[in-house]
Each structure stands twice: as structure tokens, then as C-alpha cells.
């Protein structure tokens, strides 16, 4: 999901735009099973050491993309020609020469941004890179294509009606999740070692969970972004999905905001586990009271036992500190963004939007927003701000809280698609996504790690929540868990490597 709406809520945090000053990535050990397809850190090291050229790395990724795209539809637009030209020139940065995908909600100069929508057909290419996209290029990454996303990033599945659905490489009848679903499918299938993602309600964590990947949603204001200075409460933050913790840590270090305008002190490169033993809360119930399915609940409890075996202290079960209205309040806030998007389409095309231009879900959300009076919006703002404050107080009782990411394993294609009748889709959304939304309201970081597979072979992610600014703690814990229970050797049915 993606939303960066200005002027809707009172200023909660400031943010900074700083020049990207990437440092060298220090490779940490990863299980030997990864050697048949290097992660981004190892591939960058191979390119630096001239074991392989950037051009060769890009060409290999293009070959994998061409073989895999017909099977899982992870890409909207290829940028093969641009990538080949960039790979011929000198490249620098910690990931110099590593092939990459940019999510098709963000602008790459010279490429049309489709936003998963029929309304953008025939529009001109973007004139310049978005600021965060420029930061990824400054880190040396080379974009071979734009990864698929649902329309405007709204739904937690990548099945835009204007394009073929992205399919989960573990089971192509299942959803990749969303909105960074194309990025996750390509990474899980071995097309690229990691890919750009962003998160306005779970859109890094959802696809990481559904595809067996690492997905860190950073704190609001942590990463290089569009505008310096104070800003209203934005939901979306930038990041990456990857197969290894060290890739996520290296990308984070290369693209976090630094300098005087940064919201948080820079973390830099996290290279391994921390020594501190943590207080861990365990949370199974979603915002609306839903409980996870049995296999998901079992993987959550197994994760708790793993942490306890590692010497961390379980403080017992806990519940979200949110009001019963929280899920509907989040959707109402979402609808204000949908209304802006529909208005933008109507201005762009010069006529009233209908289902030939915009998906039914987006239209209904926009219509719902028109029913909100100024007093309703003000009350909504106050409840969401109260939820953010409640989270900040609640998380002080723990170092980290573990929970599911979804209540169920990857859902069948079509289950959460934008043409499902709205009331049915609303109920499904509120049931499925009961664990991630609060971090986008509070601004806090959260991370999904692939800590279990169902008996049917589907990956299940477990979420780790922490306080604002605590990415170092989360990354250190992720390294520890990755070493204790490696996942890198698992490969999906659709595998490009």
C-alpha cells in the first residue's frame, strides 16, 4: 500500500532529505546454500573484485527476467536497454552494478509510471527520477525494470485489473500480496537479489511474508525522501525486499537520511547480531479481534520458543493498544487519498472517472470520502493521532513485539482483488491485515522475517515491531534469527537461478 497525502493530519514528525553517502558494505556470513545465486552483497563484492562485470551481472538478470516474467508477471515495463547502457559506464557505490527493480509507483526518468492503473495508458515518460529512486542509483544499483503494483498501491495483493496478476512463485495460484508484490515475486524467484519496495500499510511486510523474504518497514522520516523539513503524517516509507538480512541492512545504510535535517541519528551499516537480550511480547489477535489460522499461530509460537532459546525474555501475551474503530478509521483515511487520486484522473483525462479508467474499489473508496463532513475528518484525525500516541506508550513495555503479518498463508488469486464487491472486500481486508497498519500511523519500524512454511509449502512471515528509530535493534535481531533458523536454502517452484 502507498499513501503520502499532504495536509490531512497535524504535523507529527519532521523529515530530512540528505545526499546519499553510501559506505562500503561489509559482507556478513550467509549460509552456503545461497552460493548458487549470490545475494546483492556478494554480487557487489564479485563485481568490485572483477570476478564478473556489471554488464555480465545485468545481462544474467535480464535473461532470468525474460524466462520468468511469463510465469509470474512480476514486471510492468522492462528497462533492459537503459540498464545495458548504464552497465557499460563506470558505476560506484556499495551495490555498484547489481541489477534491481523499481516499483511502478515511483518515477524513473524516461519511463512511464503506470501506478497499476488503466488511467495512465498513453501518458508520457517521467522527466526525472524520484528522490529515493535517485538514492538507489547513487548506491550503484541498476534498474532492469518497473515491478508490478496494484492500482495506486491500495490493496494487499498485486492483481491490478489493467494488467495480468502477479503470481506467487511458491504457488502460482496464490497472491504475491501487495503492494510491492512484483518486487517480492521477482526477488523470491531469483530474478534479482533484492528489489525496491515501499510501505503505506504493510506493503513491504505483506509481500515479504507471502514470498519468504526479509522486509523492513523503516521509521517515518528515516529514509531519503522527497521533501525536507516538517511534513504532515504520511503513511508511506521506502525500503527493499531481499533474501538476506545483510542485503536489507546494506540497502538501509546506503539510503537512510543523514546530516542535520535527518529525523533520527544515522544507524549506518549493521553487520551482525547484538549482544543485548530483549524483552519480547507476543501478540496473536488482530486489530479487529481476528485470530490467525492454526498454521500461522503455530509458527508464531515456534518463533517465540526460538527467541526464548536464544536467551530473550518472553513477557507474555499482549494486545494492540488501539480502539475498536482503528481498522475502519484507517480505511476512512485511505479513502481520502482515493478521492484525491480519482480527482487527479478526472483532471488528467478531462472527464468523470468510471470503471474503464479506475478500479471499482478505488471508486467506492473515493465515494465514501465524499460522505465525510469536516467534523468527521477532524474526529478521524484525532483518533488516529491518539492511536499513534498509544502505540508509542505501549511499546515502551517491550524491546520488540512479535505477531503474524497476515492471519492466513498466501490467499488465492482473486480473493482480495479490486473488483470483489466492496462490502465483502472490506470484511476480508479487516480480517487479513490486522497487524501492520498501526506502524504506518505511529511511524514506527516493523519487520517481516520468513520463519515458517505451511504443510502445503507456502511461506509465512512473522512481524517484529519496535519503537520509533529502533531499526538497529531489529536488524541485529534479524541477523541472530537468520543464523539460528536459516531460510536462504529454500527455493520456490518458479526459480530463475
Asked if 179 is an active-site residue, the reply is: yes
Residue of 86, 103, 167, 217 marked active site = 103
Residue of 203, 242, 442, 448 marked active site = 203
3-class DSSP string for the chain = CCCCCCCCCCEEEEECCCCCCCCCCCCCCCCHHHHHCCCHHHHHHHHHCCCCCHHHHHHHHHHHHHHHHHHHCCEEEECHHHHHHHHHCCCCCCCCCCEEEEECCCCCCCCCCCCCCHHHCCCCCCCCCCHHHHHHHHCCCEEEEEECCCHHHCCCCCCCCCCCCCEECCEEEEECCCCCHHHHHHHHCCCCCEEEEEECCCCCHHHHHHHCCEEEECCCCCECCCCCEEEECCCCEEEEEECCHHHHHHHHHHHECCCCCCCCCCCCCCCCCCCCCCEEEECCCCCCCCCCCHHHHHHHHHHHHHHHHCCCEEEEECCCCCCCCHHHHHHHHHHHHHHHHHHHHHHHHCCCCCCCCCCHHHHHHHHHHHCCCHHHHHHHHHHHHHHHHHHHHHHHHCCEEEEECCCCCCCECCCCCCCCCHHHHHHHHHHHCCCCHHHHHHCCCEEEEEEEECCCCCEEEEEEECCCCCHHHHHHHHHHHHHHCCCCCCCCCCCCC
CA atoms within 13 A on the CB side of 79: 25
Asked if 147 is an active-site residue, the reply is: no
Let me know how long the chain is.
497
Residue of 117, 147, 175, 179 marked active site = 179
Q: What whole-number distance in Å separates Cα of residue 284 and Cα of residue 395?
A: 16
Q: What whole-number distance in Å separates Cα of residue 126 and Cα of residue 240?
A: 22
Asked if 103 is an active-site residue, the reply is: yes
Residues 39-68 as b/e (b if ≥16 CB within 10 A, e otherwise) read bbbbbbbbbeeeeeebbebbbbbbebbeeb
> What positions carry a catalytic annotation?
103, 179, 203
Amino acid at each position: 500500500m502507498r499513501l503520502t497525502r499532504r495536509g490531512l493530519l497535524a504535523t507529527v514528525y519532521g523529515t530530512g532529505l540528505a545526499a546519499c553517502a553510501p559506505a562500503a558494505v561489509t559482507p556478513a556470513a550467509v549460509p552456503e546454500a545461497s552460493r548458487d545465486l549470490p545475494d546483492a552483497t556478494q554480487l557487489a563484492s564479485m563485481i568490485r573484485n572483477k570476478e564478473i562485470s556489471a554488464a555480465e551481472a545485468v545481462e544474467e538478470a535480464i535473461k532470468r527476467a525474460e524466462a520468468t516474467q511469463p510465469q509470474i508477471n512480476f514486471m510492468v515495463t522492462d528497462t533492459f536497454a537503459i540498464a545495458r547502457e548504464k552497465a557499460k559506464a563506470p558505476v560506484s557505490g556499495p551495490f555498484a552494478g547489481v541489477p534491481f527493480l523499481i516499483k511502478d509507483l515511483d518515477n524513473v526518468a524516461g519511463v512511464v509510471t503506470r501506478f497499476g492503473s488503466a488511467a495512465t495508458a498513453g501518458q508520457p515518460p517521467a522527466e526525472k527520477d524520484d528522490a529515493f529512486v535517485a538514492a538507489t542509483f547513487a548506491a550503484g544499483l541498476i534498474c532492469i525494470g518497473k515491478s508490478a503494483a496494484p492500482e495506486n498501491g491500495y490493496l494487499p495483493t498485486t492483481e491490478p485489473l489493467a494488467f495480468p496478476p502477479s503470481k506467487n512463485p511458491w504457488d502460482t495460484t496464490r497472491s504475491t500480496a501487495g503492494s510491492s508484490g512484483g518486487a517480492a515475486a521477482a526477488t523470491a524467484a531469483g530474478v534479482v537479489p533484492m528489489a525496491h519496495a515501499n510501505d503505506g500499510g504493510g506493503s513491504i511486510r505483506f509481500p515479504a511474508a507471502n514470498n519468504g523474504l526479509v522486509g523492513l518497514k523503516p521509521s517515518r522520516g528515516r529514509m531519503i525522501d522527497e521533501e525536507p523539513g516538517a511534513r504532515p503524517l504520511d503513511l508511506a516509507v521506502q525500503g527493499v525486499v531481499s533474501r538476506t538480512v545483510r542485503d536489507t541492512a546494506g540497502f538501509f545504510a546506503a539510503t537512510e537520511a543523514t546530516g542535520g535535517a535527518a529525523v533520527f541519528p544515522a544507524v549506518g551499516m549493521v553487520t551482525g547480531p547484538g549482544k543485548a537480550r530483549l524483552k519480547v511480547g507476543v501478540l496473536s489477535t488482530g486489530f479487529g479481534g481476528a485470530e490467525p489460522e492454526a498454521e500461522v499461530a503455530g509458527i508464531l509460537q515456534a518463533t517465540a520458543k526460538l527467541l526464548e532459546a536464544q536467551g530473550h525474555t518472553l513477557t507474555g501475551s499482549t494486545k494492540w493498544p488501539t480502539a475498536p474503530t482503528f481498522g475502519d478509521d484507517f480505511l476512512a483515511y485511505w479513502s481520502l487519498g482515493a478521492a484525491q487520486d480519482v480527482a487527479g484522473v478526472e483532471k488528467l483525462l478531462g472527464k468523470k472517472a468510471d470503471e474503464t479508467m479506475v478500479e471499482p474499489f478505488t471508486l467506492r473508496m473515493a465515494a465514501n470520502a465524499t460522505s465525510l463532513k469536516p467534523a468527521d475528518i477532524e474526529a478521524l484525525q484525532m483518533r488516529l493521532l491518539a492511536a499513534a500516541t498509544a502505540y508509542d506508550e505501549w511499546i515502551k513495555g517491550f524491546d520488540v513485539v512479535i505477531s503474524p503479518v497476515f492471519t492466513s498463508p498466501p490467499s488465492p488469486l482473486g480473493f482480495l482483488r479490486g473488483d470483489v464487491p466492496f462490502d465483502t472486500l472490506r470484511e476480508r481486508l479487516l480480517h487479513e491485515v490486522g497487524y501492520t497498519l498501526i506502524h504506518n500511523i505511529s511511524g514506527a519500524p516493523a519487520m517481516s522475517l520468513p520463519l515458517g512454511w505451511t504443510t502445503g509449502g507456502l511461506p509465512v512471515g512473522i512481524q517484529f515491531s519496535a519503537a520509533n528509530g529502533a531499526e538497529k535493534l531489529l536488524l541485529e535481531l534479524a541477523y541472530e534469527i537468520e543464523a539460528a533458523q536459516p531460510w536462504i536454502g529454500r527455493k520456490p517452484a518458479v526459480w530463475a537461478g
